[in-house]
């Protein structure tokens, strides 16, 4: 006779009721049904489930690709050597960009205080963040541009936000601040969203 041992697990009341009902429907004891389910999950259906998941994922990816192409977010040659990313069609107001500039500066100062760093040291640490380093590799002028904004010496214009999103697919300054702080900064997301100009 096969040696068995007891496994104690904690299940929700709803799940226990459902398991008992299913066991009764299949004419099995609770232990037999749970044992059967576990064996199937471990031995019998794992490979099938993986194959099914792969097929499902491929279908979903193809569906997503077609949707993106039809929306002109991706070009037809997405899987080729050259991939074109459509430029951002979102417009930003100068007034909204000004408020976004202020939000970036305030976040920069707050992060420096939280890390107990001077403004110069905070900037030196920010330059090491992946988002900033990547932007600087694409546009060598970005470092000085970002620094001027964070110091408050330069007020962003709506067109500059649009250029940043087109060139980098995001705002490197915002992403870098998030990476430096080690957390998301929803106030910057809100400020950037508020700067958008919606068509009438």
The pair phi, psi for residue 29, each rounded to 5°, is -75, 165
CB 162 within 8 A of CB 91: yes
What Å distances lie between residue 123 and 105, 140, 185, 196, CA to CA? 11, 16, 17, 27
Q: Which helix (H) or strand (E) holds 164?
A: helix 158-168
DSSP for 30-51 reads HHHHHHHHHHIIIIISHHHHHH
Question: Residues 34, 37, 40, 42: what is their CA dihedral angle, to the nearest 10 degrees?
Answer: -70
pLDDT (tens digit, 9 = 90+) per residue, 20-68? Answer: 778 777 787 777 878 888 877 776 554 556 667 777 777 777 777 666 6
Structure pTM? 0.57
The pair phi, psi for residue 197, each rounded to 5°, is -105, 120
- pLDDT score recorded for residue 34: 82
Q: What is the mean pLDDT of the chain?
A: 81
Sign of the alpha-carbon dihedral angle for 71, 77, 78, 83 = negative
Q: Is the pLDDT of residue 100 over 90?
A: yes
- pLDDT score recorded for residue 81: 46
Residue 83 binned pLDDT confidence (cut-offs 50, 70, 90): very low
């Amino acid at each position: 006779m096969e040696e068995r041992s007891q496994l104690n697990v904690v299940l929700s009341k709803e799940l226990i009721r459902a398991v008992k009902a299913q066991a009764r429907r299949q004419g099995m004891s609770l232990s037999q049904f749970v044992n059967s389910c576990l064996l199937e999950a471990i031995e019998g259906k794992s490979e099938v489930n993986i194959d099914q998941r792969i097929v499902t994922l491929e279908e979903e990816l193809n569906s997503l690709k077609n949707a993106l192409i039809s929306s002109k977010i991706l070009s037809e040659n997405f899987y080729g050597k050259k991939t074109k990313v459509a430029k951002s069609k979102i417009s930003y107001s100068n007034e909204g960009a000004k408020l976004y500039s202020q939000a970036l500066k305030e976040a920069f100062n707050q992060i420096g205080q939280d890390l107990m760093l001077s403004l110069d040291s905070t900037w030196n640490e920010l330059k090491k963040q992946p988002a900033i380093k990547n932007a600087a590799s694409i546009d060598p002028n970005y470092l000085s541009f970002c620094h001027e904004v964070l110091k408050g010496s330069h007020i962003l214009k709506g067109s500059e936000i649009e250029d940043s999103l087109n060139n980098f697919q995001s705002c490197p300054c915002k992403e870098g601040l998030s990476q430096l702080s080690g957390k998301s900064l929803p106030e910057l997301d809100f400020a950037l969203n508020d700067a958008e100009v919606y068509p009438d």
